[in-house]
Amino acid sequence: MSLKPIDPQRSFYHTSTLCGEMFGPTDRYRLFRERILPKLFALRPKLESLYCEENGRPAIDPVVLAGVTLLQFMERVPDRVAVEHVVFHLGWKYALDLELNYGGFHPTVLVYFRDRLEQKGAERVIFDGVLELLIEMGLVKRKGKQRLDSTHILGYVKEMSRLECAVETLRLALEALEEVLPSTERPEFWGTLWALYVQSEVDWRLNKSERQSRYRQCGRDMDELLGWLKGKPSKWSELEEVRLLRRVFEEHFEVIEGEVHPTPKRPPRSVQNPHDPDAHYADKGKRQWVGYKVQVVESVDPERPAKVKGEAGEHFITEIVTTEAAQDEMAGLAEALKEEAEHHGMKPEALYADAGYVTERTLSEAEGSGIELLGPTRPEPHRGPYNADAFSVDIETQQAICPEGNLSTQWSRIRDTYMGTEYYRIEWASQCERCAVQKQCTRSKSGRRILVVGLRHDLVEKRREEMRQADFAKKMHPRNGVEGTLSELVRGHGLRRTKYRGISRVRLSHYLMGAACNVKRYLNLMAFEIRPATLKAA
């Protein structure tokens, strides 16, 4: 689609002429028009690159679509209601600077606009535009302090058993091949597979042995179909549904001496539902889910707490990273810092986080990059008076003293090539044999204590020592506000359960939620500053 040039001429029936006095200086729609809309117009060159030049019928102005999408996520309305607001809602017309008689467009235009943002790699263009405005206003500092946390996202798919997942994957592959395979090229077993997996469903009343038999039969049928496709043209064997079938077969089954056998269990990051292969299973404590995980980073200024009751805070989302459900917090932290630096040149001087982010590795990386990582570290997993915390370990001199005052006799640096880790192994040799607390200190058959610590165990010891100080909890108070931000995103923008499938589309929706949350906070802050002092005190 091509784009029409902007027409600067306005008619007498424009909302700016007829409706300007209806919206006061603190009205959110006036503030959106005056503060946010100019920034969206500044993004027009980036939005224009999503469209073809002089090709096809003229498209809806992408600035209007970006504004509608932003208001849609701010007020949490679906596409049809958003289009109705564009036609009938005077506040939306005024906020978007439209003619009073503007007739709107079809709701699917918003779907196609989101498709363009996703397909062209412009998922974060609106979020970045809003964040740049906050940086220009001085509300977000490139080298300020930040806080972050993660939360789980439920996928927009049903949780399936292994049998259901395998059968549904095979059905999708058969339906995709049905469209491209000529009837003369189909194998002899095609009719049998079609009747078993497309024209019938899994009976939920099957007992355990019948389900297992059906599952093994499904594995044999998948193997037979994939074997037949090996010597066929790539346009058949490389279909997306066929590649997914191959992946699910490798995750669910294994071939031993020509026989297909189910694997003992699903591997990590395996397909849980073929309708959204990116939605993975994750287990975090008492919480299990199939979906995604999101990391939310927010600016914070501990030196400027709210002084008046009801005052709008100056805390804004600086990054929102969507990851796989099974990805750990350390990888999410690294990705969030990388995205901030790449897109906005941001490098926080301090970062508040919970114990999930504060490990030996992250403390070492933060020290190397000049970032102060503030937060508690996880306690020593082994309890009792003789765990690792009871030993005095000096990394520089490579010596350790046990709780009974004995100096270590052996210090070795071990590199585990299988796990990709390095650590120190510390021993006390024969000193343990004549120690009075030998039975309480170690349960090894040799009777000798072996202590294993990381290469930067000193950083962990230092942080645990800081945690014992009385003012540590008070020092960590600024981190608590990020929980409110997650609650705002969940309750006000529907963050908990996604309405989309595929990590790229889910990522797009999260960036739009972050932009909408920032705009709402910015408009509330502007309205509070404009409001008369007497109303502020009240």
More confident residue, 225 or 4: 225
Would you say residue 463 lies in a domain? no
The verdict on 108 and 16 lying in the same domain is yes
The mean of the pLDDT values for the chain is 87
Would you say residue 20 lies in a domain? yes
The verdict on 176 and 241 lying in the same domain is yes
129 within 8 A of 40, measured Cβ to Cβ: yes
Count of residues for the chain?
538
The verdict on 402 and 505 lying in the same domain is no
Residue 518's identity, in one-letter code, is N
Integer Cα distance of 251 and 41 in angstroms? 48
The verdict on 105 and 54 lying in the same domain is yes
The verdict on 237 and 88 lying in the same domain is no
pLDDT of 520 > 90? The answer is yes
- What are the CA-CA distances from residue 389 to residues 5, 386, 410, 528 (Å)? 69, 8, 19, 50
The verdict on 487 and 355 lying in the same domain is yes
Tokens 């189910």 found at: 262
341 within 8 A of 363, measured Cβ to Cβ: no
Q: What's the pLDDT tens digit per position in 152-172?
A: 999 999 889 999 999 999 999
pLDDT of 509 > 90? The answer is yes
Structural domain tally of the chain? 4
Q: What is the pLDDT of residue 81?
A: 96
389 DSSP assignment: G
pLDDT of 182 > 50? The answer is yes
- What are the CA-CA distances from residue 14 to residues 18, 89, 425 (Å)? 6, 14, 76
pLDDT of 377 > 50? The answer is yes
Q: What is the pLDDT of residue 55?
A: 64
Would you say residue 102 lies in a domain? yes
Give the residue from 228, 246, 262 where a domain finishes. 262
Would you say residue 131 lies in a domain? no
- Of 233-237, 291-295, 302-306, the one with minimum mean pLDDT is 302-306
Range of the domain at 407: 388-457
Integer Cα distance of 223 and 475 in angstroms? 59
Secondary structure E strands in 122-239: 145-154
Q: Which residues contact 506 (CB under 8 A, 6 or more apart)?
A: 153, 278, 292, 322, 498, 500
Give Dmax (Cα) for the chain: 98
- β 350-352/145-154 pair status: parallel
Q: Which residues contact 339 (CB under 8 A, 6 or more apart)?
A: 319, 321
Q: What's the pLDDT tens digit per position in 467-504?
A: 888 888 888 888 888 999 999 999 999 999 999 999 99
The verdict on 166 and 240 lying in the same domain is yes
- What are the CA-CA distances from residue 282 to residues 155, 293, 484, 491, 505 (Å)? 12, 9, 24, 22, 20
Would you say residue 267 lies in a domain? no
What is the DSSP annotation of 222-281? HHHHHHHHTTS-HHHHT-HHHHHHHHHHHHHEEEETTEEEE-SSPPTT--S-TT-TT-EE
Give the residue from 396, 430, 457 where a domain finishes. 457
Residues 206-221 have a mean pLDDT of: 92
The verdict on 339 and 219 lying in the same domain is no
Q: What's the pLDDT tens digit per position in 47-68?
A: 888 887 766 666 788 999 999 9
Residues 297-308 have a mean pLDDT of: 76
The verdict on 104 and 14 lying in the same domain is yes
69 within 8 A of 4, measured Cβ to Cβ: no
Q: What is the pLDDT of residue 7?
A: 58
Would you say residue 134 lies in a domain? no
Q: What is the pLDDT of residue 173?
A: 94
Tokens 């709210």 found at: 306
pLDDT of 310 > 80? The answer is no
Q: Which long-range contacts (CB under 8 A, 24 or more apart) does 243-251 make?
A: 244/169, 244/172, 244/173, 244/271, 244/274, 244/277, 245/169, 245/170, 245/172, 245/173, 247/271, 247/277, 248/165, 248/166, 248/169, 248/222, 248/274, 249/166, 249/219, 249/222, 249/223
**Where residue 8 falls among pLDDT bands split at 50, 70, 90?**
low
- Of 11-20, 34-43, 258-267, the one with minimum mean pLDDT is 11-20
Q: What's the pLDDT tens digit per position in 89-121?
A: 999 999 998 888 888 899 999 999 999 999 999
Integer Cα distance of 35 and 524 in angstroms? 12
The verdict on 254 and 318 lying in the same domain is no
pLDDT of 368 > 90? The answer is no
490 within 8 A of 105, measured Cβ to Cβ: no
pLDDT > 70 in the chain, percent: 93
pLDDT of 309 > 80? The answer is no
Would you say residue 240 lies in a domain? yes
Residue 300's nearest CA partner among 491, 529, 475 is 475
Tokens describing residue 383: 């309890």
Query: φ, ψ for residue 254 (rounded to 5)?
Result: -140, 145
**What is the CATH number for 292?**
3.30.420.10
Integer Cα distance of 399 and 372 in angstroms? 27
Q: What's the pLDDT tens digit per position in 114-158?
A: 999 999 999 999 999 999 999 999 999 999 899 999 999 999 998
391 within 8 A of 458, measured Cβ to Cβ: no
Would you say residue 493 lies in a domain? yes
Q: What is the pLDDT of residue 534?
A: 43
The verdict on 442 and 298 lying in the same domain is no
The verdict on 6 and 104 lying in the same domain is yes
- What are the CA-CA distances from residue 479 to residues 278, 330, 335, 336, 485 (Å)? 31, 17, 20, 17, 11
316 within 8 A of 139, measured Cβ to Cβ: yes
Query: φ, ψ for residue 194 (rounded to 5)?
Result: -65, -40
* Start-end of H helices in 345-480: 360-369, 438-441, 457-467, 472-475
